[in-house]
Amino acid sequence: MAATGHRAAPEHTHPDDVTVANALAALADPVRGTLVRELAGSADWTRTCGSFDVPVGKAALSHHFTVLRAAGLVEQRDEGARRVNRLRRAEFEARFPGLLDLVLRGD
């Protein structure tokens, strides 16, 4: 895995180590809901952090991704200067059955 960026590698939490309260809090935020829905519609590792259509600045976006990683929802890796993402769909579904589908339904 190429991790040559200047940033520290992102820390991750596996969904098995996430409480239901933290999972719900991560998904309750509308910006994070949008990030999750856009990721669900994209192939793994194709979306950079700057590629999402959300009305927040860089620092806020970085915070949202930190929350999503800590909730076991998103995995990130650095490819050179790019940080790319994937939704941890299968493992999150195994831990919290049906929850992601409710968010992806999005009504």
Among 29, 79, 91, 93, binds a copy of itself (CB under 8 A): 29
Smallest gap from residue 17 Cβ to a copy of itself (A): 11
Stretch that binds a copy of itself, among 27-35, 39-47, 52-60, 84-92 (CB under 8 A): 27-35
Give me the sign of the Cα torsion angle 99, 103, 106, 107: positive
Length of the chain as a residue count: 107
Cα first-last separation, the chain: 38
Supply φ then ψ for residue 83, to 5 degrees: -105, 120
Answer whether 15's CB lies under 8 Å from 72's CB: yes
Contact between 27 and a copy of itself by CB under 8 A: the answer reads yes
User: Which residues, 32 to 91, sit near a copy of itself by CB under 8 A?
Assistant: 33
Among 3, 24, 81, 90, binds a copy of itself (CB under 8 A): 24
Q: Which pair of tokens denotes residue 8? A: 């520290």
Contact residues for a copy of itself (CB under 8 A)? 19-22, 24-25, 27-30, 33, 96-99, 102-103, 105-107
